[in-house]
Amino acid sequence: MIELFLSAFFTLFVVIDPVGCAPIFAGLVRGMPARETTATALRATLIATLILVTFALVGERLLAALQIGLDAFRIAGGLMLFLIALEMVFEKRTEHDQERAERAKSAPPAEDLAVFPMAMPMIAGPGSIASVMLLTAQAQGLQQTVAVMAALLAVLALVAIALAAAGPLMRLLGTRVEGVITRLLGVLLSALAVQYVIDGVRGVLALR
């Protein structure tokens, strides 16, 4: 159970990337009062939590309704995560997130930054949705499902902390350290993505 928790925690931590979300959030809320910044961080995390938990609970039924096999989803999810990993290693993901942040910042005041771009797609993006669906689909029994959900909630708690403390965190780490961490996580995520594809291919071949 602990191994499953740690595996799910690491996967979701790398995909959601709380450290990488912090500088984007800091740029979005620059000049905002501290109380409002904290409220926005908590609201963004809560919305993302509702999205990810919903996909975690109904994801397997959704796959069944669409007649998509778990092995096919493993392969597709692995390929998607590999593309995200490449963007992280070559810093393209940060550029894309910054572009989304700038578009959101220049949007009308009615646009809630907690919803877009923070909750979606930065926290509950395609990669994190695919990951949580894959992890819960692989879980066998209630205990394993609870372990995956606990890992998800633990990562999201770290996201809330990272966003709420984004300003001081960025001053402490600096852009260079943040870039090194993102690249390292990208390399690890690429290996994990390849493993997903290998497992999916093995499963497909075993059915023949």
**DSSP H helical segments within 70-140, as ranges?**
70-89, 92-105, 126-138
Do 20 and 97 touch, CB atoms closer than 8 A?
Answer: yes
Domain range list for the chain: 2-106+159-206
Token pair belonging to 36:
């409002």
Which amino acid makes up residue 14? Answer: V
Do 183 and 20 touch, CB atoms closer than 8 A?
Answer: no
Residue 166 φ then ψ, to 5°? -60, -45
Neighbours of 108 (CB within 10 A): 5
- Reading the chain (208 residues) residue by residue, the pLDDT tens digits are 899 999 999 999 988 989 878 877 887 787 788 899 999 999 999 999 999 999 999 987 887 888 888 788 778 878 887 887 788 788 765 555 556 555 555 554 434 788 887 898 789 987 888 889 989 988 889 999 999 999 999 999 999 999 998 877 777 767 677 677 778 877 877 887 888 789 889 988 887 6
Distance CA 26, CA 118 (A): 11
